[in-house]
Amino acid sequence: MIERIIDLFMERFGHKPLAFRAPGRVNLIGEHTDYNNGFVMPAAINRYAYFAVKPNGQNLYRFHAFDFKKDYTTNIYQINPSKTHWANYLLGVIAQMVSDGKDIPGFDCVFGGDVPMGAGMSSSAAIESGLAFALNSMYNLGYTRMQLAHISQMAEHQYAGVNCGIMDQFASLHGKENHVLQLDCRILEYVPFELDMAKHSIILVNTGVKHSLASSEYNKRRNECQTGVEVIKQHLPVVSSLRDITLNNLNEFKLEFNDVVWNRCSYVGEENERVIAAGNALLNHDFATFGKLMYQSHYGLRDKYQVSCSELDQLVEITEELDYVVGARMMGGGFGGCTINLVKNDYIDSFVEVINSRYKTPEGQSPQIITCVIGNGAEQLT
């Protein structure tokens, strides 16, 4: 795809670009914990947003979206959120850098990708992180990868209206081949755990339900967690996020919570503990335990955090009867998108057959099934 993007760039703009790519991600475990300062365990995958970019010597940012065959041009002194939805992911990144005092001269850009959209695989984070990485290299801005992740996250907050955590942009920028990254979102430090894939594969099954509800429900979950923090804060003023609250604290003050908020908060506490346990299981090559933790994560997201949907639940239920699926759960923000499945390599064909025979998307189609290879984070190609 990058060759086609470079060719198109030269055709439209008549000069030779630099090329970059940034990946989408999977998350093995640790869902809805990042914005609560907790733990997550994502990995970058072999699906990317690709960029061809080059300064143009004019006061213009000129974008072409390869996948939509659409253009967007703006004066560099007039960066504002746009009605063109896709442009906001790019403009948001530039706006962050400019408000941080950086000079971002005019440039031309063709971008496109193969991370499915609305599937919970972070296609938007790949776009934000890819442009942030490209501008940082092209204009020698001196940002670290973690700073670029933060810039990309803020672009999503301010230009796309989703108050996401840092997991997706972090994974897109820090991915490491054959490793999952256990990130502590409070101190922004991470431990790479080798994922020995000799006997297992990571397979995504796309429900075909786009997570369109997700953004409003997502922001609602954040607020519910904050309400929980406020309750505990009255007793323990040092608490500033759910990360500072133990399951014991929650039980002690349970009577002061309404049921919904208590469920949200106890899910987050339990999920954080599962991420730590999952890391230990990987160190012991104990996939059986790892897989059980994935199922528990799904049940918590379904019953307590309430971000699943019937299609995701159905896909997970199908796997419960299959011994060769060691773990399965919904992945990402929820309300649609994919399930992530840890499947024994010798049974991949059977898995695909069973899923295809027992699940159809809301349009009556066979679901998209994606085997993931874990790769590196954002990089320059030429």
Which residue ranges make up the site for ligand GLA (CB under 6 A)?
Answer: 31-32, 34-35, 164-165, 167-168, 332-333
Give the active site residue among 103, 168, 184, 286.
Answer: 168
Nearer to ligand GLA by Cβ, of 35 and 143: the residue is: 35
Tell me which residue of 110, 17, 107 sits closest to 69, measured CA to CA: 110
User: Active-site residue 168, yes or no?
Assistant: yes
Q: How far is the CB of 158 from ligand GLA (least distance, A)?
A: 14
Q: How far is the CB of 32 from ligand GLA (least distance, A)?
A: 5
**Cβ–Cβ < 8 Å for 193, 180:** yes
Distance, CA of 59 to CA of 62 (rounded, Å) = 10
Nearer to ligand GLA by Cβ, of 29 and 53: the residue is: 29
Look at the block and give the residue holding tokens 């991420």.
Answer: 275
Q: How far is the CB of 328 from ligand GLA (least distance, A)?
A: 16
Nearer to ligand GLA by Cβ, of 108 and 168: the residue is: 168
Nearer to ligand GLA by Cβ, of 138 and 204: the residue is: 204
Q: How far is the CB of 367 from ligand GLA (least distance, A)?
A: 20
Active-site residues, by number, are 168
